[in-house]
A and B are shown apart, each in its own frame.
Chain A
Amino acid sequence: GAGVSQSPRYKVAKRGQDVALRCDPISGHVSLFWYQQALGQGPEFLTYFQNEAQLDKSGLPSDRFFAERPEGSVSTLKIQRTQQEDSAVYLCASSLALGRENTGELFFGEGSRLTVL
């Protein structure tokens, strides 16, 4: 597709369940970011990939959160043993490598809204 695709768009999980959120970036985009956005707040950085390399995972809130991008394209954010505080919109964004001809701006997906009961 032309844009960043995220699935599922909506996920309801019972506390303690594991969830997996998928992101399919724009073809050719080497950089991929995951953000967590609570209602009325700004996107909080979770983790960042350049191709298959996870360059920064400093924003992952706990060891229950895990992200991967094994072939440098599709990425999955996994949350184990979900808690109520994990309820948020999870945004995925991709970008071209920063260069002289582009700003490296992020192209966002529509997000995955997770509700933990």
Chain B
Amino acid sequence: QSVLTQPPSVSAAPGQKVTISCSGSSSNIGNNYVSWYQQLPGTAPKLLIYDNNERPSGIPDRFSGSKSGTSATLGITGLQTGDEADYYCGTWDSSLSVGVFGTGTKVTVL
């Protein structure tokens, strides 16, 4: 159902870095901001990144966001066990006038 494609899973050892891609089209990522959300088991999603690369207050700078063309990327450095969660990208689709989320990526700390 999702129009934004993410890899199902990524993994790395503690202290290492992971990147999560979010692929869309010109009607969504290509012409709108992107946000990223972290969802721990049994909890509501939490905003990590807004306006492509901005962090809300309280989000450590280990989390970063970028956008190029019709794709966006979330980076997590200095991976910690507490980072094990599902991560979602989100944006607006201007052609459909709807909000859209990515398929979600599970991060595993080895």
Instruction: Please say whether chains A and B are actual partners in one complex.
Output: no
Give chain A's interface residues, CB within 8 Å of chain B: none
Give chain B's interface residues, CB within 8 Å of chain A: none
